Amino acid sequence: MKYSKMKGFRDIFGEDIEYWQYVESKLKSLFTSYGFKEFRLPILEKTALFNRGIGDTTDIVEKEMFSFEDKDGEFVSLRPEGTASLLRAYIENGLINNGVKKFYYLGNMFRRERPQKGRFRQFTQIGVEVLESSSALLDAEIASLLYNSAKVLELENIVELEINSLGCKECRPDYNELLIAYFKNIKDELCGDCNRRLERNPLRILDCKNENCKKLIKDAPVMLDNLCCECSDHFSQVKKHLNEMNIPYKINPFMVRGLDYYIRTAFELVTTMLGSASAVGAGGRYDGLIKTLGGSKDTAGIGFAIGVDRLVEILQQSKKIPIRQTDYFIVCFENTLEHGLKIVKSLREKGFIVEYDYDQSSMKSQMKKSNKLDAKFSVIIGEDEVNSLEVTIKDMLSGYQKRVSISDLCAINRD
Ligand code: ATP
Ligand code: MG
């Protein structure tokens, strides 16, 4: 019996994993430098949390969740995103109402979509959330952090930061009416999904990926022309601060987010390198969501999530990253093993990558193994070397070899 993985799920290993670790460590240190603290969240949550937190009429809740009834009759889902879980944890752990909080998370998300380039059923997001401030300066800081996430990977030339304002509960309802009026007139030309959206959540039509719908959307009224004074003012401040921060951006009046809870500033980091899955990361402001999820007061919040799979993909397409190779392969034999292991230990403690042969095979075979591991140096420890307290070190690229004292070898520090 041969087993295979499920559609849309992946095994990640080999050279790919080097890129994953590189991206994750660069982003973790970037977020840490902005004062974010890591938050680890469960992968399985009660389904009701996502229905409420993401919105009943979103694509995610309507058709993309991996949900099932647990043995005790509880309805549970693999998390499709991190914000609802983080806010649940924030409320549940009594962190509310204590000043600005900044968290980041990294982990797998699950959505039952049609797998294609940049779109999987299990994927990884790294995201941030900031709670308890509605300042426009914070919106600019978070949008700039999203942009800088590409910049630390030297990908700023192949991404673009797009921003928009989605209004608030004061101005969005009137705008919704305008949208409904516009799309009702051309109802027959819209796809089936959009016809349903028109009834339940008209704003979502603007996010339709259908080519014909995209053409019809071009002439639709936009939220930016219909913002209330407060939202308009807030958006001007965000733009001003982004300019002060020297962050390039483009205004995209048609950008809406896939999740229901966003108000005011929304932003996306997009690229043309991934076909139709063009967003590398996205986020926005969600003041009020905490209250919706059972928080005790109207707490402000803003955040974004980056699709690590997509970021890795564009990084692999654009540049080679430094990959660490084995530094030393220690060649030793039954009677010199004890000595060899001391040298292995000492070099590993200095931070070198050190390997040796677990099968203790012949000299020829050990040199082959060293070659196969692409080691920079082989260190040969024979009986006469032990007696003279020396080793033979061979540069595997040039083939040059010389004898050095064991103490000199063990005194080498990693640069
Ligand atoms: P899209 O419009 O591409 O479906 P989305 O609006 O559903 O994206 P979000 O929910 O905002 O995406 O998630 C944030 C990021 O997570 C996206 O910008 C993307 O990089 C990544 N992402 C979302 N869904 C997937 C997926 N199925 N596979 C891989 N990455 C994904
Ligand atoms: Mg989606």
Written as one string, the DSSP assignment of 133-145 is: ---HHHHHHHHHH
What integer is the mean pLDDT of 293-302? 86
User: What pairs with residue 343 in β-bridges?
Assistant: none
Q: Where are the alpha helices (DSSP H) in 46-187?
A: 47-54, 59, 83-92, 136-151, 172-185
Is residue 6 situated within a structural domain? no
Quick one: 278 and 398 in the same domain? Answer: no
310, 311, 315: which to mutate for ligand 1, most atoms within 8 A of CB? Answer: 310
- Report which bound ligand comes closest to the CA of 84: 1
Q: With the C-alpha atoms ordered 332, 335, 336, 338, is the resulting torsion angle positive or negative?
A: positive
Q: How many domains does the chain have?
A: 2
What integer is the mean pLDDT of 95-101? 84
Quick one: 314 and 376 in the same domain? Answer: no
Q: How confident is the model at residue 148 (pLDDT cuts 50, 70, 90)?
A: very high
- At 356 the pLDDT is 97
The model's pLDDT over 326-358, given as tens digits with 9 standing for 90+, comes to 999 999 999 999 999 999 999 999 999 999 999
Quick one: 85 and 24 in the same domain? Answer: yes
Quick one: 233 and 305 in the same domain? Answer: yes
Quick one: 77 and 115 in the same domain? Answer: yes
- At 259 the pLDDT is 67
What predicted TM-score, i.e. pTM, was given to this entire model?
0.92
Kindly give the distance from the C-alpha atom of residue 279 to the centroid of ligand 1, in angstroms, as a whole number. 7
Minimum-distance ligand 1 atom for the alpha carbon of 280: 20
Is residue 139 situated within a structural domain? yes
With 70 as the cut, is the pLDDT of residue 381 above it? Answer: yes
Kindly give the distance from the C-alpha atom of residue 259 to the centroid of ligand 2, in angstroms, as a whole number. 9
Is residue 213 situated within a structural domain? no
Residue 144 to residue 188: CA distance in whole angstroms: 41
Quick one: 307 and 362 in the same domain? Answer: no
- At 233 the pLDDT is 97
Q: How confident is the model at residue 28 (pLDDT cuts 50, 70, 90)?
A: very high
Type of residue at 350: K
- CATH number for position 348: 3.40.50.800
- Nearest 5°: the CA angle 399, 403, 409 is 100
Select the more confidently predicted residue: 395 or 58: 395
Is residue 290 situated within a structural domain? yes
Kindly give the distance from the C-alpha atom of residue 109 to the centroid of ligand 1, in angstroms, as a whole number. 10
- At 177 the pLDDT is 93
- Report which bound ligand comes closest to the CA of 63: 2
- CATH number for position 97: 3.30.930.10
Quick one: 86 and 234 in the same domain? Answer: yes
What integer is the mean pLDDT of 82-97? 93
Quick one: 356 and 304 in the same domain? Answer: no
Kindly give the distance from the C-alpha atom of residue 15 to the centroid of ligand 1, in angstroms, as a whole number. 24
125, 155, 268: which to mutate for ligand 1, most atoms within 8 A of CB? Answer: 125
Is residue 128 situated within a structural domain? yes
- At 367 the pLDDT is 96
Domain boundary among 318, 342, 369: 318
What integer is the mean pLDDT of 365-372? 96
Q: How confident is the model at residue 14 (pLDDT cuts 50, 70, 90)?
A: very high
Is residue 207 situated within a structural domain? no
What integer is the mean pLDDT of 301-329? 95
Is residue 217 situated within a structural domain? no
Pocket of ligand 1 (CB under 6 A): 81, 111, 113, 118-120, 123, 125, 258, 277, 279-282, 305, 307, 309-310
Q: How confident is the model at residue 102 (pLDDT cuts 50, 70, 90)?
A: very high
| Most confident of the following: 131-135, 315-319, 327-331, 389-393 | 327-331
Q: Where are the alpha helices (DSSP H) in 288-377?
A: 289-292, 308-318, 337-349, 363-372
Q: How far apart are the first and last CA of the chain?
A: 49
Residue bearing the CA closest to ligand 1, atom 10? 258
- At 142 the pLDDT is 98
Q: Report the chain's mean pLDDT, rounded to a whole number.
A: 93
- At 199 the pLDDT is 87
- Among the listed residues 236, 84, 272, the one whose alpha carbon sits nearest the alpha carbon of residue 163: 236
Domain that holds residue 348: 328-410
- Report which bound ligand comes closest to the CA of 123: 1
Kindly give the distance from the C-alpha atom of residue 48 to the centroid of ligand 2, in angstroms, as a whole number. 20
Domain boundary among 294, 318, 342: 318
Domain boundary among 293, 318, 343: 318
Quick one: 239 and 136 in the same domain? Answer: yes
Residue 256 to residue 275: CA distance in whole angstroms: 19
Backbone angles phi, psi at 338, to 5 degrees: -60, -45
Select the more confidently predicted residue: 124 or 291: 124
Type of residue at 279: A
The model's pLDDT over 187-246, given as tens digits with 9 standing for 90+, comes to 899 999 899 888 888 888 998 888 899 898 999 999 999 999 999 999 999 999 999 999
Kindly give the distance from the C-alpha atom of residue 181 to the centroid of ligand 1, in angstroms, as a whole number. 30
Q: For the ranges 108-117, 269-278, 336-345, which has the lowest average pLDDT?
A: 269-278
User: Residue-wise over 278-289: b if at least 16 C-beta within 10 A, else e?
Assistant: bbbbbbbbbbbb
- At 99 the pLDDT is 85
Kindly give the distance from the C-alpha atom of residue 309 to the centroid of ligand 1, in angstroms, as a whole number. 10
Is residue 188 situated within a structural domain? no
- Nearest 5°: the CA angle 103, 108, 111 is 115
Minimum-distance ligand 1 atom for the alpha carbon of 127: 14
With 70 as the cut, is the pLDDT of residue 258 above it? Answer: no
Residue bearing the CA closest to ligand 1, atom 7? 258
With 80 as the cut, is the pLDDT of residue 104 above it? Answer: yes
Quick one: 143 and 290 in the same domain? Answer: yes
Quick one: 250 and 360 in the same domain? Answer: no
Type of residue at 282: A
Quick one: 159 and 42 in the same domain? Answer: yes
